[in-house]
Amino acid sequence: MPFRLVSAWNKRRRSRSHDQNDPWVYKPVEHWQLENQVPAVKRKLVPLVFTYKEMDEATYSFSEGNLLGKGGFGRVYKGILKSGQVVAVKKMDLPSFREADGEREFRVEVDILSRLDHPNLVALIGYCADGKHRFLVYEFMQNGNLQSHLNGITETKMDWPLRLKIALGAARGLAYLHSSTTIGIPIIHRDFKSTNILLDVNFEAKISDFGLAKLIPEGQEVYVTSRVLGDLGSESLYLLGIGWSLVVENSKPGTRPLGTNLSSSVQ
């Protein structure tokens, strides 16, 4: 019996140690706050918490007519809340072997987006964690994502001034994330691509999909990602340069989008 107790205690201790050192284990923003740091600025709007019934009603029982697209996380539907606000509802729909990853990405996105407030980042209206159901509710972006326009799926004329406007907006969003001006901690998106650059009615660019984002505490030696290493300042400028180059290159008239997924090379 004593042997079993010691064995169980050692197993629990190793599990705790792994949780503390493994960068892939989800941890809230407060975990990365440095001592004597200025408190984070609170968002003006607190994300709403929805029930599964409300999500079902908003999307007309997830009607195919309301389907906006599909992604790695699941499906995205157009929805109308009881208030009359039009939103985009992302429904987590993953195979069982990916449910743990999906749960982590869901928590990261809620935790990060609920604290950020910038015109070039998509706004999180609310979320649903009702039983096993997981939904993210965003502001509705009338012009979809950048890739659909670059591929010629839409009829919008993407002239050079418009492409440059979108590239500048996306770059401002990245600069904001890397500058840590709001929550006090720089954020690396790690999934920056044309499908994650959404466009509103005025073709203002807004970065979306923060499920793979990582927090990088400045001045603290912590491995929070498998490949983003080294000096924070140079890394931020490096990634910002890559992001800017990617958007500008993809936005050149007459060219097919290249490198639609940056995360495969920069994680």
**What residues contact 203, with CB distance under 8 A and at least 6 apart?**
143, 162, 165, 166
The angle formed by the CA atoms of residues 192, 194 and 200, to the nearest 5 degrees, is 105
Residue 113: CB atoms within 10 A of its CB come to: 23
CA distance 77 to 91: 8
Residues comprising the binding site for ATP? 91
Question: 20-29 contacts: CB < 8 A, separation 24 or more?
Answer: 23/214, 23/222, 23/223, 23/224, 23/225, 23/226, 24/104, 25/104, 26/104, 26/107, 26/108, 28/111, 29/111, 29/112, 29/115, 29/183, 29/185, 29/215
Give the active site residues.
191
Contact 135, 121 (CB under 8 A): no
Contact 141, 120 (CB under 8 A): no
